[in-house]
Structure 1
Amino acid sequence: MESTHEPADPIAKGVLATAKQSWHDLFIFKQRVVVTNELGETSTEWARPVPLRNPISLLAQLSARNWLFFIVGFLAWVADAYDFHALSIQQVKLAEFYNTTKTNISTAITLTLLLRSVGAAFFGLAGDKWGRKWPMVANMIVLGVLQIGTIYSVTFSDFLAVRALFGLFMGGVYGNAIAMALENSPPDARGLMSGILQQGYSLGYVIAACANLGVGGGDNSWKTVFWIGAGLSIGVGLVRCFFPESQQFLEARAAGKGQASASAFWKETKMMLAQEWKMCVYCIILMTWFNYYSHTSQDSYTTFMLTQKELDNDGASRASILMKVGACVGGTIIGYISQWFGRRRTIIVAALISGLIIPAWILPEGERSLSVTGFFMQFFVQGAWGVIPIHLNELSPPAFRSSFPGLTYQLGNMISSPSAQIVNAIAESHSVTSKSGKSVNAYGPTMGIATAIIATGIAVTTALGPEKRGREFEKTLPAGMNIIQGGKAVDDLEKGDSRDEKPVVGEVEGGNDGSGEKK
């Protein structure tokens, strides 16, 4: 950010005041920032964002070590997404195998989403205390074993039990993966890297859809898709064993001269929750909207093409693949733009555009048309999602960048867990006439109306919420080491988040629409 040295009103305090200021700042391209001088005195002023940099030059800022951490985090997220989508895109096959309805099969998706928040809390806090490495290794290997357990589930009850346990371990991946990937990326490149990272989710879907296409529509073909997922998850876990702990975490621990005691860790955790509970609630609400957004627009889309649009398995799989290619492209481009345009503005624009193209998304007939409209729909849906990893990291209490994003994301997942069941239940209870004249389940209208409501909710929630673009969270010590600094107790974790005993000249921290850059 470039300072204009123009004074600005202080950062608002309180929910209503923050919402009012956030809405006002949304229409001012300059950013409201808090500046700390060499005497420790703070003031609020306006700063202007720097122009977008060449993405190639941003990628070149990452060292070989940075790339190593980013790729491992990305692959963990890809494998995690594959494991989830291996079920969602094969609901029709699984319903036939277990001789039940698609709505009952989607119960497994609900159970997975419900329990992910438990795993996010456990493995996220473990990542903040002991590091990102070993919690991730445990996550990935157990996920692979549970994929194998899914294959050997003889009864539908066994199937549901395994998928519920699967959800618990799946929940721990996101927080550690994005913390490790983004905290090792240079600040200027984080918008672009966030967009690329989030699309590991879409890439996991593409690989699962390709696997589904490759195995065909046979009765037991779904098992092969799960075997591939087991190999991916276990493989990533084993590869992670051979690479070191996150450099940022090691440097933070070294600056704190050792590892925090358990009592200090829990004391700081309680202090963080007491001070940041409003931010926690806001992020959970935002992530609830976002998880409804993705699950409603994608989980039943293959089923929609198979039933309402009457495509065969191969055609529906190809259209699904192209749909998620759009997600990968959109997430990368829109995440990159957010570095200049702002996290909130970018999310709002992407969400509103996705709402406007809903008719073009659900009305066409034929594989080619559905592929094109699905591509553009997911371009903007996952484009908005591409901003989320770095946005959540910047909004997080700095010492809790593994647990806070993972837990708020997974709690949003938990609240939105009935999304697939809701869509299936409503669609199966209503009917529309297909192109061939048959009466079929109304998946298109159900998904279209739900997505329009959700996109509007995202735009409103984001417009009234905070932003801390560019925040320099690297200076924070690991959780448990920030409550005592310079021999004195710290009563505000947001103010006491620097490793330096003296304030840094020109250091700024983002406000409602701010950023943290050095002048």
Structure 2
Amino acid sequence: MAADSIVSQEESVVSYDKAEGRITYLKPQSQITWSDAKHYLGTRLPTLFPTKRSIKEARKHYPLNPFPALRSMNWLQTQYFLVGFLAWTWDALDFFAVSLNMTNLARDLDRPVKDISHAITLVLLLRVVGALIFGYLGDRYGRKYSFVATMVLIVIIQIGTGFVTTFSAFLGCRAIFGIIMGSVFGVASATSLENAPHKAKSILSGIFQEGYAFGYLLGVVFQRAIVDNSPHGWRAMFWFSSGPPVLFIAWRLMLPESQHYLERVRLEKLENDGESQFWKNAKLACSQYWLSMVYLVLLMAGFNFSSHGSQDLFPTMLTSQYQFSADASTVTNSVANLGAIAGGIIVAHSSSFIGRRFAILLCCIGGGAMLYPWGFIANKSGLNASVFFLQFFVQGAWGIVPIHLTELAPAEFRALITGVAYQLGNMISSASSTIEATLGEKFPIEGREGAYDYGKVMCIFMGCVFAYLLIITVLGPENKGGELRLSSPGMEDDVESQNNVSFERVGEIQPASELNFKQEFQHKERV
């Protein structure tokens, strides 16, 4: 029987057992009933906690020691990962250049810190525009030249920002930067992760995501080394940051197009007589995956509130509220980002065994326990310890994000959907620093003009964020190992797939990317 004849408009193939000749169909989300929803919600707690059997099954596919798994990567896969990781790292550094210089910018542009925080809000609001534009370009025309275009634009805007002399011009440059920054995550994460071996993807997801914390750490170091010693002040940071992307451009141009992308395009053309079906498939993806898209945006809003709520105003708290010296502030910020990097790598790998949702749940609980010492202990040693572990849990949960988004997104639109979900979450959380700065002004510190109790405000804010993130994660779907099951059609009976229930497959097992499977299934039928 030809594959096309068994795929109706009402149902779509999501699972095929070759041995039994059994095909499972997906119920369109528009047909999901209240009983389906109740059944789905009833599976959330039972599937949340790992069992001995599920951990044993996970051991078959994921090594306990993640670093030998990295040796399974060939030289080309390693370069794909590194160039994507470095682009994401430098993107973070460019973003935090404002957070680290809010006091300097406020003084130079003759504006209060609250006004400078609007630049951060503006960047976060406009990142979704870049995610839409370059997510489309990356999925439609390839990862390579989309990546190069984003890096070229970053070089130009960073140089220009260093020359602004008015607050309005500064906001204009940061608005353009926001659009450019929004383009990086989707294309860079697809470049880094989609070509990597399956058994290495969890640890690579953690390493990749912590490029964000690594970029912050580099920003702290370069802030102390360059800005504090340059006659040009904060401007020197922006000029310096425009240099390394030139190297990333040259590196990416020397590498071929993503092999995973080329194979997907080849299969698409094979089943459509050489014609592209991008827009047709995009319409199908929206009709089938709209509920997951909404969920991913809500999930990423919680994650972005957690990172921006704990990081953006933290340097200002150190210098303004606690009056840390430049050296002491550098040490504390470095400790925070070392904790973030460690958490992202360790928790991401652990999620291969205990599950994505359960790992995020543990991070929310652990992070909540660290809020009081983080927000109320002013001595350096106590604050350094608390901020290390707070960021360990915040960025530990974040380390799961790239692989979690990849597993929940359809393969044909991975750069677009992951990028847009990430940046829409950013847009929702864009006012984090402004909210905290505004609320902070309601808690002035007695006897010190212009000093506010940011620690108290940030502590309360983050408590609400952790509670929200915990709830949205527990109620959400999980598709751990989804890509691995797609490549092995006989795996639907294993424990891991039975524990995974998605919006697209309410009440059944083995969620998958219907579009990707349909391509592979039709190709096998022709062969």
Indicate which of 44, 50, 58 corresponds to 1:49: 58
Instruction: Report whether the alignment pairs 1:341 with 2:350.
Output: no
Q: Does 1:312 align with 2:325?
A: yes
Question: Following the alignment from structure 1 to structure 2, what is the Cα–Cα distance between the partners of residues 255 and 148?
Answer: 42
3-state SS of 2:377 partner: coil
Map 1:438-449 → 2, pairs under 5 A: 440-449=451-460
CA distance in 2, matches of 1:11, 1:30: 30
1:94-140 deviations in whole A, cap 9, x for unaligned?
A: 00110101110011111111110011011011111111111111001
Displacement of 1:158 in angstroms is: 0.5
Residue 240 of structure 1 is matched in structure 2 by 252
| Shift in Å, 1:354 | 0.3
Match of 2:402 among 373, 389, 398: 389
Deviation at 1:235, TM superposition (A): 2.6
Separation in structure 2 between the aligned mates of residue 85 and residue 217 of structure 1, nearest angstrom: 16
Preserved contact between residue 20 and residue 464 of structure 1 (Cα < 8 Å): no
TM-score, normalised to structure 2, is 0.83
Single out whichever of 144-153 and 220-229 deviates more from structure 2.
220-229
Comparing 56-65 and 388-397, the one that deviates more? 56-65
For the residues of structure 2 that align with 1:78 and 1:125, how far apart are their CA atoms? 22
Whether 1:327 and 2:340 are equivalent positions in the alignment is: yes
Q: Percent identity?
A: 36
The Cα of 1:433 is off from its aligned counterpart by 5.1
The residue that corresponds to 1:410 in the other structure is 423
* Structure 2 equivalent of residue 289 of structure 1: 302
- 1:482-506 CA distance string (max 9 Å, x none): xxxxxxxxx9637625255458xxx
Which of these residues, 122, 125, 129, is aligned with residue 118 of structure 1?
Answer: 129
Q: Is the 8 A contact 1:252 1:475 kept in 2?
A: no
How far 1:61 moved relative to its partner? 1.3
TM-score of the superposed pair, with normalisation by structure 1: 0.84
Q: Any stretches of 5+ residues in structure 2 without a counterpart? A: 1-24, 488-512
CA contact (8 A) 1:133 1:245 kept: yes
Determine if contact 1:113/1:167 at 8 Å carries over to the other structure: yes
Q: CA deviation at 1:367?
A: 3.0
Determine the C-alpha separation between the residues in 1 that align with 2:275 and 2:387.
49
Post-superposition shift, 1:244?
1.1
Match of 1:24, SS?
coil
Q: Residues of 1 paired with 2:519 and 2:373: CA distance?
A: 48
Moved more, 256-265 or 304-313: 256-265
Q: CA deviation at 1:93?
A: 0.6
Q: Which of 106, 115, 131 pairs up with 1:95?
A: 106
Aligned match of 2:461? 450
- Provide structure 1 residue ranges, at least 5 long, that are not aligned to the other structure: 1-9, 33-45, 477-490, 504-519
Deviations 1:142-184 (CA, angstroms, capped at 9, x unpaired): 0111011111111110000010011111101100111111111
d(CA) in 1 for partners of 2:59, 2:361: 21
Please name the residue that 1:252 is paired with. 264
More strand by share: 1
Please give the alpha-carbon distance, in whole angstroms, between the structure 2 residues aligned to 1:123 and 1:196.
23
Q: Distance in 2 between matches of 1:474 and 1:238?
A: 36
More divergent stretch after superposition (214-223 vs 411-420):
214-223
State the alpha-carbon separation in 1 of the partners of residues 56 and 299 from structure 2.
26
Q: Which residue of 1 aligns with 2:196?
A: 185
Tell me the CA shift for residue 19 of structure 1: 2.8
CA contact (8 A) 1:213 1:318 kept: no
Alpha-carbon distance, 1:417 to partner: 0.6
Offset of residue 339 of structure 1: 0.9
Given the superposition, is the C-alpha separation of residues 497 and 344 from structure 1 closer, same or farther in structure 2, using an over 3 Å criterion?
Answer: farther
* 1:139 and 1:237 in contact (8 A); partners too: no
- Residue 387 of structure 2: aligned partner: 374
Q: Which has the higher helix share?
A: 2
Please give the alpha-carbon distance, in whole angstroms, between the structure 1 residues aligned to 2:450 and 2:129. Answer: 42
Q: 1:16 to 1:86 in 2, by over 3 A?
A: farther
CA distance in 2, matches of 1:89, 1:17: 48
How much does 1:365 deviate? 2.2
Count of matched residue pairs = 465
Structure 2 contact 44–476 (Cα < 8 Å) conserved: yes
Name which of 221, 240, 243 aligns with 1:210: 221
Does the CA contact (< 8 Å) of 1:18 and 1:464 recur in 2? no
Cα shift at 1:16: 4.3
Tell whether the 8 Å contact from 1:22 to 1:465 is kept in structure 2 after alignment: yes
- How far apart, CA to CA, are the structure 2 residues paired with 1:429 and 1:187? 50
Classify the secondary structure of the residue corresponding to 2:472: helix
Structure 1 residues 425 and 403: alpha-carbon distance in aligned structure 2, compared to 1, 3 A threshold: same
- Partner Cα distance (2:249, 2:442) in 1: 43
- Secondary structure at 1:469's aligned position in 2? coil
Q: What's 2:414 paired with?
A: 401
Letter in 1 for 2:190: A
Query: Cα offset for 1:47?
Result: 8.8
8 Å CA contact retained: 2:376, 2:456: no
The residue that corresponds to 1:131 in the other structure is: 142
Structure 1's 433 and 329: CA in aligned 2 closer, same or farther, altered over 3 A?
farther
C-alpha contact 1:191 1:336 (8 A) present in aligned 2: yes
| Equivalent residue letter for 1:493 | L
State the distance in 2 between where 1:135 and 1:439 align: 45
Deviations 1:310-329 (A, max 9, x none): 11222112211111111011
Distance 2:163 2:450 in 1: 36
C-alpha contact 1:196 1:328 (8 A) present in aligned 2: yes
Q: What is the CA–CA distance in structure 2 between the aligned matches of 1:347 and 1:465, rounded to whole Å? A: 12
What corresponds to 1:302 in structure 2? Answer: 315
What code does the residue aligned with 1:50 have? R
Deviations 1:433-477 (A, max 9, x none): 59xx8883010011101111101111111111101111127979x
Is the 8 Å Cα contact of residues 144 and 253 (structure 2) preserved in structure 1?
A: yes
